[in-house]
Amino acid sequence: MTSPRLALGRISCSIADMRSVDQHGLPITNACAAGAAGYDAYVGEFLSYGANLRDLFAVADAAPGAALLNAHAAALHLAFEGAEGWTNAAPYLTRMRRAEKNATERERIFAAAVEKWAARDYARALEALDELTLRWPADLCAIKWGQYHAFNLGDQETILRFAERARIVFEDRPYAHGMIAFALEQNHRIEEAEEEGVRATEIALDDAWAHHAVAHVMETQRRAKDGVRWLDHCAHTWEKKGVFIRDHNWWHAALFRLALGREEDALAIYDEKLWGAWPEFPQEQIGAVSMLWRLEMRGVDVGDRWTPVVEQVRRRAGEHILPFHDLHYLYALARAGERGEADDFLSSLKKHAENSSEPYHTFWRETGMPAAQAVHAYAHRDFAGAAEYFARALPRLERVGGSHAQRHLFIEAYETAGAATRGGAGKISGPANRS
């Protein structure tokens, strides 16, 4: 299965109107009124984490001369975060490049961001989106994409900077406050984050990103019972959402159960909600790896649940698209006893790190590779080595990407490795080293 593509019904456009505007008055070059309406629908789905994002592909297919529409279609495929996404983005990137000469400056800057993204130069993609949204803060979709890249780069301050631009322009816009709430939480402004998240749900009850932001607040404050009640209250709205947010919010719901010592309930959520909706999706894969690892650190026997996850993960060997993902893939391979595959993955990652340019080369040397070596050592029960490598990686671990809650997995592993080194490894489960 590849990143989603869907050919919908034919979109009818009149040649009389080939320069339209979106719902915020921003121009869309070479798009008719129907194309602009399709773009507006996509923006609504994107901001709300809706299940119909793929409808944009038909909109872009009907407007090959619209640089903005094709740039966003390419971005959606790239956001799959696997090699298939790059393959499926290619025709949209080609159209985008051909159409740029007729595009507005805003559209060209967005296209430049997508171009850098396709080249895996995420820092420059972020710079382009930062410039764009500073000049055109009404482009809420570009703000959301900016937060996406800042999050993956571990740049919490920039996540918040984008959010403040959204606040200025979209005070009462549905889904804007969810974006603000998460940015505040990632910058340790916890009380404000909860206020914004609750306000977001008052504007739009189905703001799943706001549900997520408030869950983060409750995790930080160790309010696990409140977290269970909060997410249980919100969960009925997720069934109409896309796979990512549905999986991820249930992942947080499982974390709250773990915090309360309800491991069997967390395992039930894993079986019913976290694995199987879209196994080929990298985000579903890393969520599964993270939850199984956490369960095993608590002494839970997860049975053969690693097997289908590893079958998917081994297909990611050599991709190295996001370091946060790589750490999860590496652990899954090593934990499953696939020593040769895990060693090959680590060697491939080391080569990728050595060949990277700045600022990525410094990241890999200081943080990425020590974290990878720690994960590899931990999975093979070299707890002393794992503790040593984790100690090197943890001071700058936010640069790996992921949220505080997601990265806490590695802190738990560091603490567990330390306890095992001191002879207190009673709750560590999983196979011993295998060659």
pLDDT means per 10 residues, the chain with 435 residues, are 38 54 94 95 98 98 98 99 99 99 98 99 99 97 98 98 93 92 98 98 98 99 99 98 98 99 99 98 99 97 97 96 98 90 97 96 97 97 97 97 97 96 62 37
Instruction: Establish if 353 belongs to a structural domain.
Output: yes
Do 217 and 329 have their domain in common?
Answer: no
386-419 burial by CB neighbour count: b if 16+ within 10 A, else e? bbbbbeebbebbbbbbbbbbbbbbbeebbebbbb
Quick check: helix, strand or coil at residue 292?
helix
Do 117 and 188 have their domain in common?
Answer: no
Which domain covers residue 93, as residue numbers? Answer: 1-145
Residue that is last in its domain, among 262, 285, 305: 262
Q: What is the CATH number of the domain that holds 230?
A: 1.25.40
For 141, the token pair is 């979709």
**pLDDT confidence of residue 171:** 81
**pLDDT confidence of residue 423:** 81
- pTM here is 0.93
Do 87 and 131 have their domain in common?
Answer: yes
Do 429 and 281 have their domain in common?
Answer: yes
Do 87 and 11 have their domain in common?
Answer: yes
For 394, the token pair is 């943890």
Quick check: helix, strand or coil at residue 403?
coil
For 424, the token pair is 């207190």
Amino acid at 289: V
Residue 51's contacts (CB-CB under 8 Å, 6 or more residues apart) are 45, 240, 241, 242
For 37, the token pair is 């309406």
Do 200 and 339 have their domain in common?
Answer: no
Instruction: Establish if 152 belongs to a structural domain.
Output: no
Do 257 and 285 have their domain in common?
Answer: no
**pLDDT confidence of residue 429:** 53
Distance from C-alpha of 291 to C-alpha of 335, rounded to nearest angstrom = 13
How large is the C-alpha radius of gyration of the chain?
A: 22
For 301, the token pair is 């026997």
50 bridge partner residues: 241
Do 231 and 303 have their domain in common?
Answer: no
Instruction: Establish if 216 belongs to a structural domain.
Output: yes
For the chain, how many structural domains are there in total?
Answer: 3
Answer for the pair 178, 200: CB distance below 8 angstroms, yes or no. yes
Q: How many CB atoms lie within 10 A of CB 307?
A: 9
Please name the residue ranges forming H helices in 298-338. Answer: 306-313, 323-335
What does 196-237 look like in DSSP terms, one character per residue?
A: HHHHHHHH-TT-HHHHHHHHHHHHHTT-HHHHHHHHHHHGGG
**pLDDT confidence of residue 234:** 98
Do 127 and 39 have their domain in common?
Answer: yes
Residue that is last in its domain, among 128, 145, 162: 145
Instruction: Establish if 117 belongs to a structural domain.
Output: yes
**pLDDT confidence of residue 426:** 40
Residue that is last in its domain, among 201, 234, 262: 262
Do 48 and 102 have their domain in common?
Answer: yes
Residue 435's contacts (CB-CB under 8 Å, 6 or more residues apart) are 339
For 39, the token pair is 């773009």
Answer for the pair 340, 346: CB distance below 8 angstroms, yes or no. no
Distance from C-alpha of 243 to C-alpha of 274, rounded to nearest angstrom = 10
**pLDDT confidence of residue 131:** 99
Torsional class of 49: left (φ above 0), alpha (ψ -120 to 50), beta (otherwise): left
Q: How many CB atoms lie within 10 A of CB 94?
A: 13
Instruction: Establish if 60 belongs to a structural domain.
Output: yes
Distance from C-alpha of 102 to C-alpha of 30, rounded to nearest angstrom = 8
Do 10 and 95 have their domain in common?
Answer: yes
Instruction: Establish if 164 belongs to a structural domain.
Output: no
For 105, the token pair is 């400056």
**pLDDT confidence of residue 7:** 34
Query: How far is the CA of 252 from the CAs of 89, 215, 222, 280, 387, in angstroms?
Result: 31, 7, 13, 21, 26
**pLDDT confidence of residue 73:** 99
Instruction: Establish if 128 belongs to a structural domain.
Output: yes
**pLDDT confidence of residue 430:** 52
Do 310 and 432 have their domain in common?
Answer: yes
Tallying the residues shown for the chain, one arrives at: 435
Instruction: Establish if 156 belongs to a structural domain.
Output: no
